[in-house]
Amino acid sequence: MLGNVFAAGVPPLFSLLIEEFHCTSDEASRLPIYALLMLGVANLWALPAVEYVGKRHTILISMVVFLASSIWAATAQSYTSLLGSRFLGGFSAGVIEALGPFIVSECFPEEQLASAMVVYVGFLAAGSSVGPILAGAIASGLNSWRWFFGILSIAIGVNLISCFLMLPDTTHIIDDFWEESLDHIIDHSSQENLNTDSNKKTSNQAEFSIDSDGQDQSLRSLWIERSFSLCIDSSRPKENLFKLFVRPFPLLLAPEVLVTSLIFGLNIGWTAVTAIVVANIYEMPPMQWAPWQLGLINFGPLIGLLIGLPLGGAAADLLSKRAMKKANGEHDPRSRLPALVLGALISPAGCVVIGFSLQKQLHWIATAVGWGMLTFGLTSSANVLLTYCVDCERSRAGEIGVLVNVVKNALAFGVSFTSMDWYLEAGGEAQYGTMAGIMWATYLLVIPLYFFSSEARKFSARLL
């Protein structure tokens, strides 16, 4: 989340940055979109870093660099220096972002997969709303854009300490725990056979105590081993660095990954476009909003994200469980896909509301509601598709996470780069109407993906 706070929190600061660095509004608009681009590009380095350093060390090292870049941003003395900090900060945060689906797929069973994944997606997307809210409040209260990065640096530092203490390496951690637990069960079962009938009750109570202590000791030893060891596993040969770098790209040929990447990218892209357009339009006459007002309008998309959480998480898992019962325990990953229908209808409609509101200069509440409708699709729809992808290819969850993040951020960068020019040339209704049409057309691709899910998965397996 903090990576997206860093990337998306700048728009309410535009007026202060323009005043201090004497840059143009176009140059100020590039500060969030370049950070967004680096968030995506950095994902390509996640798998090589995990292979050679491990997930825990990759996260900790990246967070140290992220902290340094945030401090750099807070002390930047020129526009060029601030822009450089945006590149480094986006890159370091992006490496961490890619590991979310990887860790979730390792730590949670199939029946909880969507609920766990929606937390990852929700926090990831919430940063895009929380960042501007904090930036607007800080800039208005302290009349300084630097304190936004200063307070963010404190948050990153606290998170770094928390990760150091409470983030063990997750690789096979569940399998290792249950393997040790099974050894305890076997040992205690053998001991039970030696007990006489007269002391069976006492023995069983002792066994329960020993077993509980054994499991506690197992968890404690795993936590210490995977949290504070500086040794990196070198027992197996490492894969070629170039192969690790390019390995995710063939997954784009898999229909489920391609559709997920496009829909995720459009949701993030249109959200980024809206953040830039709204900040520029509401800062200019006749609106001339203060930074705190630009920040508060981001409560609209934040509420949309929160409303979508149960639909993209618990509801999707519930559909999966019911389908499994009807199929006598046989799991079908596509059983979650119907949960995205509501988001597929509401999210593009939000674009129409935003465009109409901006074009007709309606009350800001209309823009906030439309923005909330748009972001509703991130947690209620895009998350369902990401869960579906990971569920289809659990062994390649890391590569799927990398590819989806690269595509979504590249798309977001591309559409954001000319967002204001597009708005000024076409107008709000034409721009956002086109955005809605593209999103609805992309959602239609889910229909053949649902009805031909097994064929698509077989095609992907043969292809990859």
Angle subtended by helix axes 255-283 and 113-142, to nearest 10: 20
- Rounded Cα gap, residues 412 and 33, in angstroms: 8
Per-state percent for the chain, helix, strand, coil, to nearest 5:
85, 0, 15
CATH number, domain containing residue 22: 1.20.1250.20
Question: What's the CA dihedral at 380, 386, 388, 394 to 10 degrees?
Answer: -150
Between 118 and 220, the higher pLDDT residue: 118
- Rounded Cα gap, residues 318 and 308, in angstroms: 15
Mean pLDDT (whole number) for 65-90: 91
Q: Which domain holds residue 385?
A: 2-171+248-463
| The pLDDT of residue 68 is above 70 | yes
Residue 212 falls inside a structural domain = no
| The pLDDT of residue 226 is above 80 | no
Structure-block tokens of residue 454: 């097994």
| The pLDDT of residue 213 is above 50 | no
- Rounded Cα gap, residues 258 and 463, in angstroms: 14
Q: Any idea which of 87-101, 169-183, 199-213, 442-456 has the lowest mean pLDDT?
A: 199-213
State the pLDDT at residue 9.
84
Amino acid at 271: T
Mean pLDDT (whole number) for 441-452: 89
Mean pLDDT (whole number) for 344-366: 90
Mean pLDDT (whole number) for 131-138: 86
Contact predicate 324/335, CB 8 Å: yes
**Phi and psi (nearest 5°) for 235?**
-75, -20
Residue 110 falls inside a structural domain = yes
Residue 228 falls inside a structural domain = no
Long-range contacts of range 308-311, CB-CB < 8 Å, 24 or more positions apart? 308/122, 308/343, 308/375, 308/376, 308/377, 308/378, 308/379, 308/380, 308/381, 308/383, 309/118, 309/119, 309/122, 309/379, 309/380, 311/339, 311/342, 311/343, 311/379, 311/380
- Rounded Cα gap, residues 408 and 265, in angstroms: 3
Mean pLDDT (whole number) for 36-56: 80
Q: What pTM did the predictor assign?
A: 0.73
Is the bond into 286 cis (omega within 30 degrees of 0)?
yes
Residue 186 falls inside a structural domain = no
Q: Any idea which of 94-98, 153-157, 167-171, 262-266 has the lowest mean pLDDT?
A: 167-171
Angle subtended by helix axes 428-443 and 341-360, to nearest 10: 170
Structure-block tokens of residue 229: 């060891």
| The pLDDT of residue 298 is above 90 | no
Confidence band (pLDDT; 50, 70, 90) for 212? very low
Mean pLDDT (whole number) for 390-417: 78
Angle subtended by helix axes 79-97 and 55-75, to nearest 10: 160
| The pLDDT of residue 446 is above 80 | yes
Indicate the average pLDDT of the chain.
78
- Rounded Cα gap, residues 266 and 358, in angstroms: 20
State the pLDDT at residue 245.
76
Count of structural domains, the chain: 1
State the pLDDT at residue 81.
92
Mean pLDDT (whole number) for 157-164: 88
Where is mean pLDDT largest: 48-52, 227-231, 257-261, 329-333? 257-261
Nearest Cα neighbor of 402 from 61, 62, 99 is 99
| The pLDDT of residue 452 is above 90 | no
Residue 177 falls inside a structural domain = no
Angle at 277 between CA 74 and CA 150, to 5 degrees: 10
Mean pLDDT (whole number) for 129-156: 87
- Tens of pLDDT, residues 94-117: 888 777 777 777 777 777 777 777
Sign of torsion over alpha carbons 79, 81, 84, 88: negative
Residue 234 falls inside a structural domain = no
- Rounded Cα gap, residues 403 and 41, in angstroms: 10
State the pLDDT at residue 346.
92
| The pLDDT of residue 17 is above 80 | yes
Is the bond into 448 cis (omega within 30 degrees of 0)?
no
Residue 200 falls inside a structural domain = no
| SS3 assignment for 12-49 | HHHHHHHHHHCCCHHHHHHHHHHHHHHHHHHHHHHHHH
Contact predicate 51/244, CB 8 Å: yes
Between 297 and 234, the higher pLDDT residue: 297
Q: What percent of the chain has pLDDT over 70?
A: 83
What is the Rg, in whole angstroms, of the alpha carbon atoms belonging to the chain?
Answer: 24
| The pLDDT of residue 344 is above 60 | yes
State the pLDDT at residue 193.
45
- Rounded Cα gap, residues 410 and 118, in angstroms: 22
Where is mean pLDDT largest: 150-154, 210-214, 329-333, 362-366? 150-154
State the pLDDT at residue 369.
93
Show Cβ contacts of residue 218 under 8 Å, excluding neighbours closer than 6 positions.
Answer: 177, 180, 181, 184
Residue 230 falls inside a structural domain = no
Q: What percent of the chain has pLDDT over 90?
A: 16
Mean pLDDT (whole number) for 337-365: 89
State the pLDDT at residue 172.
52
Where is mean pLDDT largest: 78-92, 328-342, 444-458? 78-92
Confidence band (pLDDT; 50, 70, 90) for 32? confident
State the pLDDT at residue 184.
44
- Rounded Cα gap, residues 206 and 197, in angstroms: 15
Question: What's the CA dihedral at 344, 42, 46, 266 to 10 degrees?
Answer: 10
Contact predicate 165/50, CB 8 Å: no
Show Cβ contacts of residue 450 under 8 Å, excluding neighbours closer than 6 positions.
Answer: 334, 337, 338
State the pLDDT at residue 242.
76
